[in-house]
Amino acid sequence: MQNIFLINGDITKASVDAIVNAANTRMLGGGGVDGAIHRAAGPELLKACYEVKKVDGKRCPFGDARITSAGNLDARYVIHTVGPIYDKFAHPEEVLASAYRRSLDLALKNDCKSVALPAISCGIYGYPPQEAAQVALEVCRRKEYQSLTMTFYLFGEEMLAIWQSAFNKAE
């Protein structure tokens, strides 16, 4: 049974249990999908983010994830994760895989059935999308995530085509 879906769309329009956000370690909004999610969710999301405890000056370290309420979004939760800045890590694939894993683990822990995900690190953080898609899909296909319906919201036809090709190759 298929539980991974790829669509070209705006993740802020998703109607799911949890929306995954490609955030930064401060977790207080930013550009790209993070900015869009905060704008759509409204001030309640920013307030929830402020309440997340900082560890060593970071609300969320690279490769980790945190969960908050979702403000005005049509979701119960936002799961904020921080992917790698591609050229700042010797093994960005490990950090990216960890960002997806931690996000999906939090979804399971909070009884989510449906999750919307963006192409983490594929914008400002410079991760080549062909490589990112392979890493992301490898994580999502693991047995432990079989109970989740995971929909990737890919921004634009080009990004969708890249992910579809990775999806078909790995099958």
Active site residues: 34
State which of positions 72-91 bind ligand AR6 (CB under 6 A).
Answer: 83
Neighbours of 61 (CB within 10 A): 16
**Pairing verdict, β 114-117 and 65-69:** unpaired
The radius of gyration computed from the CA coordinates of the chain, to the nearest angstrom, equals 15
Task: Report in angstroms the alpha-carbon separations of 108 from 71, 89, 112, 145, 168.
Answer: 20, 28, 6, 8, 26
Looking from the CA of 51 toward its CB, the CA atoms found within 13 Å total: 9
Under the criterion CB under 6 A, does residue 24 sit at the interface with ligand AR6? yes
Residue 75 or 122: which CB sits closer to ligand AR6?
Answer: 122
Q: How far is the CB of 17 from ligand AR6 (least distance, A)?
A: 17
Smallest gap from residue 26 Cβ to ligand AR6 (A): 8
Out of 48, 60, 119, 137, point to the residue binding ligand AR6 (CB under 6 A). Answer: 119
Site for ligand AR6 in 133-152 (CB under 6 A): none
117 lines the binding site for ligand AR6 (CB under 6 A): no
Q: How far is the CB of 22 from ligand AR6 (least distance, A)?
A: 3
Q: Which of 5, 10, 31, 25 is nearest to 115 (CA)?
A: 5
Contact call for residue 92 and ligand AR6 (CB under 6 A): no
Q: Which amino acid makes up residue 19?
A: I
The residue ranges that bind ligand AR6 (CB under 6 A) are 10-12, 22-24, 30-34, 36, 83, 118-125, 153, 155, 159
